[in-house]
Structure 1
Amino acid sequence: MNTNFKNICLIIGVSAVTTVSSVWGYGKWHESQYAGMQDTSSVPFNYASFKEGNGVAPGQIDFTAAATAATPAVVHIKVKIKSKATQRSQSDPFGDLFGDPFGGLFGSPQAQTPRDQKASGSGVLISKDGYIVTNNHVVDGATEIKVTLANKKSYTAKLVGKDANSDLAVLKIDGGSNFPYIVYGNSDDVRLGQWVLAIGYPLNLDVTVTAGIVSAKSRSIGLTKGQAPVDSYIQTDAAVNPGNSGGALVNTEGQLIGINAAIASPTGSYAGYSYAIPVNIVKKTINDLIKYGAVQRGYLGITYSPMQDDDDLKKELGIKGDVDGVYVSDVQADGAAKSAGIQKGDIITKLDGEVISGPSDLTAYIAGHKPGDKISTTYLRGGKTNTTSVTLKSSAGTLAATSKSSIDKLGGDFTTLDEATARKNNVRGGVVVSKLGNGALSNTRMQEGFVILSVNDQTVLKVDDLKKIINAASGTVTIRGFYPGDEHLYGYTIDLSGDNSNNSNSNNGTTEDDD
């Protein structure tokens, strides 16, 4: 059962409800349209009838007040994403994931010409001065972001910050001081079976409202990316389709209780269940992004596994019957849990009195706290219940909040070059640009896979070297390195001052033959 569900969740993938994943084929024929635009003559629109017998009397539930209150705050987001030239002889993960019904669209053996991609999703206005929350995967890598409100007025949006761990991003639009915005609810108060509305712009249609009930809470689907993913979702049966990503999940009072993010589907479109990021996680994340430029996430400093279905572990620990909680399989030497006396083999059952049934409960609760916060932690050891106060630390092991670093301004994911690749290319080390995001590097000709060897002629052997050099730098810097399999050295000059317009493509990516 769990295996089947995980397989479905893999297909959730970046069907993760962004419209870019829904209509590659249509975009092949109508390249001027945003991904997600569909020919209505070919889309099977079916009538849906409400059948009695579900325990609710006709007319008992009225969603009009909630829809009227929330709809003006839900916006349509359209983005342009810089394409990269790729060699299609390699297996394309999206082709494997969804199949390739469009005649070699993903499987062509020759390199494809780079072309800006277009995609669309949804977002939610959260303040009258124009702050918008959406999914990270809606705007990740975007070079241009346009926002259209329910009143049809359009604005160019600026990316304030994003967080891959929670799949959330914050945008800002200017040009007004009295935008319609949504009122926060409390996702902790959400109950199974309660009615909810999903509001967004699916399939590039105009704003659309669908209704359903909460099917599950703290659902783990294994979708969220990042080094410390927050994998805890509200599951509903409200119809959500590609394009709904970043839209609102609201209660019958029109209050925001979640941000729609994913669907479980073998086809890429709605097939029964959708998933939303709880608003209590949303509030903490976007407040941090606006205030600090980066999420201030607290860490317990443990490695853990679920207890519920692990009969072998229960037998090993001498536990009889059902036990909720998470098993501490290891503790970090300088972590918060270690400092509070928690040991390997303990079973965490409650945080601040809240029952922790499994990993998704734990990650969701911790995600709502920052370094320095104290959490009352209840755990089992040797059959006895103990309680201790844990002071959360940052990923770096500190208690203080941190601001956005210069390496974040580069915009990308970085990993230390592995030893085998280093030996093969006759270098001592380096840092691989594993993914380009929205930052200074996106305005150069740099491609993913580039290996950084130096910054301003200072040697870079690992990610920590890159962080130290970039964080100490200001103004213009020159990054040099190579592409595996290419004997040339390349140089890219960027401006860390925040004015990315100075990162000229005309003189970036210059070849520097090393004689």
Structure 2
Amino acid sequence: MKRVLGILTIAFLGGVSSLGAYKAFIEKPQVIVERTVEPELQTVNSNYTPAVLNSSSVPTDFTEAAEKTVNTVVHVKNTAIKEVYNPFEEFFGTGNGKRKQERIGTGSGVIISSDGYIVTNNHVIEGATELEVTLNNKKKYKAQLIGSDDKNDIALLKIESEIDLPYITFGNSDNAKIGEWVLAVGNPYNLNSTVTAGIVSAKGRDLQGNSNIDAFIQTDAAVNSGNSGGALVNTRGELIGINTAISSRTGSFIGYSFAVPSNIAKKIIDDLLEFGNVQEALIGFEPDYKKSKEIEGVKVKVVNEDSGAFKAGIKAGDIITKINNVKITKFSDLKGQLTAKRPGESVNITVNRNGEPLIKTVVLSKRDTYLSANFGVVLKDVTNDDKKKYDIKGGAKIVVTDNKAFEYYNVGKGYIIVKINGENIENASEAVNILNKYGVSMNRMYLEILNLDGEIERYKF
């Protein structure tokens, strides 16, 4: 028994010593820290809330805006019948070589009144001999062209419906902010009322890359073929633009699209309804394009005498930085604001003169001359006296010409263009729009011109 107890004692002491050695030389010491356990975090209101969490500024979905818009956007079908000439048919066939060819184009439009007025792009309806509008409920109507402006790519249509139609509300495109959510609604690839979402990527875009007329809203909402003329709306479902163009090498959306601001579209529509053409408003100065590229704003090069700018005290060298409360950083910003205004309106123009900001109130004037830089001619509308004297209904009178052919044939100041390619010319704006296409989309041009003796002269370019 004693022997057994001795063996157990020796075994126990051996185990203790082995465990001590393991603790000392092998196992790492364990550090125990006593701490107070904090309660779980609770969500509380704070002065700072990330925008992504603020449901009042950015909605979690766009259903409300989409529901307000989809039934106001229509499908526009453009049927154009053109006469084409085939010389082989004339010489080797039985006919005269001429035959009619039907071409069909499609796009979108937006209902803007319950009695059937629809705004779309000019390029959607250009050249149409017949227009058909299909509503979101599949009902089809023949449409009448009320008027169009190819300069800003806006057209106004009218359909006769037996019921009041759903229509969209205009928003203020000047209030659209870069980064703001928007929806593009249209009929791409003949798909009925498609809705895509994006943000406002930029404003005042000039697609021509020069100092011309463009002041587009740029967005990354997907826009494809057939979307032209459709609605760009904010999250409240208000119209802030008419989708017009995409930037693409393939013809399909690759990330950028452009819309005519709603303020411009609305002003053009109002002009077409009231006057039958667009009333262009001017400040009355010539900008310094080269210097304006180097500064933030538009620099005044020359102030026209007796203009609104002259009477308000604007001087050469002034830099225009604001119209009313809208900031002007480049010429397209300025042009966009003026396109949304009418002659006779007063605007407050902020100018920087030698570092000092000054506010000048300018009464906008009406444009009376139109330049076709492409054709090298400045034109103006014919007067009522001209119409009586030459027994004409309209035309465009030459003011200045830099056209070499005109100079060679002594066509100059006072001559009146009455027809282009066999079509009567109503005014100078229409003539310039057609002349600007020469060499771009038109290979030949035929002009009928009244000389100072009232005789018709014909020229081919």
Q: TM-score, normalised by structure 2?
A: 0.68
- Tell me which protein shows more strand as a share of its residues: 2
1:19 corresponds to which residue?
A: none
1:182 corresponds to which residue?
A: 168
1:484 corresponds to which residue?
A: 460
Rate the CA distance shift 1:421–1:439 in 2: closer, same or farther, 3 A.
closer
Contact 1:307–1:327 (CA under 8 A) maintained in structure 2? no
2:405 corresponds to which residue?
A: 421
1:207 corresponds to which residue?
A: 193
Per-residue deviation at 1:387? 2.2
Contact 1:141–1:437 (CA under 8 A) maintained in structure 2? no
2:226 corresponds to which of 239, 243, 246: 243
Per-residue deviation at 1:197? 0.9
SS of corresponding position for 1:290: helix
1:459 corresponds to which residue?
A: 454
Q: How does 1:159-170 map to 2 (within 5 A)?
A: 159-170=145-156
Per-residue deviation at 1:392? 0.5
Aligned equivalents of 1:152, 1:278: Cα separation in 2: 28
After superposition, the C-alpha distances for 1:395-430 in whole angstroms (9 at most, x for unaligned) are 029xxxx9xx999x9999998987643577797866
Rate the CA distance shift 1:382–1:422 in 2: closer, same or farther, 3 A.
closer
Aligned equivalents of 1:484, 1:439: Cα separation in 2: 16
Per-residue deviation at 1:194? 1.7
Tell me the C-alpha RMSD between the 2 structures.
4.1
SS of corresponding position for 2:124: helix
Aligned equivalents of 1:413, 1:136: Cα separation in 2: 22
2:276 corresponds to which of 265, 269, 293: 293
Contact 1:375–1:392 (CA under 8 A) maintained in structure 2? yes
Are residue 284 (structure 1) and residue 261 (structure 2) matched?
Answer: no
Contact 2:320–2:351 (CA under 8 A) maintained in structure 1? yes
Are residue 449 (structure 1) and residue 442 (structure 2) matched?
Answer: no
After superposition, the C-alpha distances for 1:346-381 in whole angstroms (9 at most, x for unaligned) are 111122233211112211222222111111112122
Aligned equivalents of 2:174, 2:416: Cα separation in 1: 45
Q: How does 1:115-134 map to 2 (within 5 A)?
A: 115-134=101-120
Contact 2:183–2:233 (CA under 8 A) maintained in structure 1? yes
Contact 2:419–2:449 (CA under 8 A) maintained in structure 1? no
Instruction: Return the letter of the residue paired with 1:119.
Output: G
Rate the CA distance shift 1:68–1:167 in 2: closer, same or farther, 3 A.
same
Aligned equivalents of 2:402, 2:289: Cα separation in 1: 32
Aligned equivalents of 1:276, 1:80: Cα separation in 2: 24
Taking every aligned residue pair, what percent have the same amino acid on both sides? 42
2:310 corresponds to which of 333, 338, 346: 338
SS of corresponding position for 1:253: coil
Are residue 377 (structure 1) and residue 355 (structure 2) matched?
Answer: no
1:193 corresponds to which residue?
A: 179
Aligned equivalents of 1:435, 1:302: Cα separation in 2: 34
Q: How does 1:308-347 map to 2 (within 5 A)?
A: 310-311=293-294, 324-347=296-319
After superposition, the C-alpha distances for 1:180-236 in whole angstroms (9 at most, x for unaligned) are 111222212212222111111112222211111111122222289xxx954111111
2:321 corresponds to which of 322, 338, 349: 349
Contact 1:160–1:289 (CA under 8 A) maintained in structure 2? yes
Aligned equivalents of 1:242, 1:219: Cα separation in 2: 20
Corresponding pairs, count: 365
Contact 1:82–1:143 (CA under 8 A) maintained in structure 2? yes
SS of corresponding position for 1:115: strand
Aligned equivalents of 1:112, 1:235: Cα separation in 2: 44
Instruction: Return the letter of the residue paired with 2:228.
Output: S
Rate the CA distance shift 1:435–1:231 in 2: closer, same or farther, 3 A.
farther
Aligned equivalents of 1:75, 1:67: Cα separation in 2: 14
Q: How does 1:211-290 map to 2 (within 5 A)?
A: 211-222=197-208, 230-290=213-273
SS of corresponding position for 1:142: coil
After superposition, the C-alpha distances for 1:120-157 in whole angstroms (9 at most, x for unaligned) are 11110000001011111212222221111111111111
Aligned equivalents of 1:386, 1:179: Cα separation in 2: 48
SS of corresponding position for 2:101: coil
Aligned equivalents of 1:410, 1:78: Cα separation in 2: 32
Contact 1:260–1:274 (CA under 8 A) maintained in structure 2? yes
Which deviates further from its counterpart, 428-437 or 245-254? 428-437
Aligned equivalents of 1:143, 1:159: Cα separation in 2: 10
2:287 corresponds to which of 296, 301, 304: 304
1:66 corresponds to which residue?
A: 65
Instruction: Return the letter of the residue paired with 1:189.
Output: N
Aligned equivalents of 1:178, 1:389: Cα separation in 2: 42
2:332 corresponds to which residue?
A: 360
Per-residue deviation at 1:306? 6.0
Per-residue deviation at 1:256? 1.0
Contact 1:450–1:481 (CA under 8 A) maintained in structure 2? no
Aligned equivalents of 1:63, 1:436: Cα separation in 2: 51
Rate the CA distance shift 1:432–1:127 in 2: closer, same or farther, 3 A.
same
Aligned equivalents of 2:317, 2:83: Cα separation in 1: 47
Work out which of the two has the higher radius of gyration on C-alpha atoms and give 1 or 2.
2
Contact 1:413–1:434 (CA under 8 A) maintained in structure 2? no
2:417 corresponds to which residue?
A: 431
Q: How does 1:29-40 map to 2 (within 5 A)?
A: none
2:138 corresponds to which residue?
A: 152
Aligned equivalents of 2:337, 2:281: Cα separation in 1: 10
SS of corresponding position for 1:180: coil
SS of corresponding position for 2:155: strand
After superposition, the C-alpha distances for 1:489-510 in whole angstroms (9 at most, x for unaligned) are xxxxxxxxxxxxxxxxxxxxxx
Rate the CA distance shift 1:85–1:433 in 2: closer, same or farther, 3 A.
farther
Per-residue deviation at 1:274? 0.3
Aligned equivalents of 2:76, 2:247: Cα separation in 1: 22
| Structure 1 unaligned regions, length at least 5 | 1-53, 89-110, 312-322, 441-446, 461-479, 486-515
2:33 corresponds to which residue?
A: none
Rate the CA distance shift 1:87–1:458 in 2: closer, same or farther, 3 A.
farther
Contact 1:73–1:125 (CA under 8 A) maintained in structure 2? yes
Instruction: Return the letter of the residue paired with 1:74.
Output: V
After superposition, the C-alpha distances for 1:37-73 in whole angstroms (9 at most, x for unaligned) are xxxxxxxxxxxxxxxxx96899962122221211111
1:140 corresponds to which residue?
A: 126
Contact 1:411–1:437 (CA under 8 A) maintained in structure 2? no
Rate the CA distance shift 1:306–1:355 in 2: closer, same or farther, 3 A.
farther
Aligned equivalents of 1:309, 1:421: Cα separation in 2: 34
Which deviates further from its counterpart, 182-191 or 58-67? 58-67
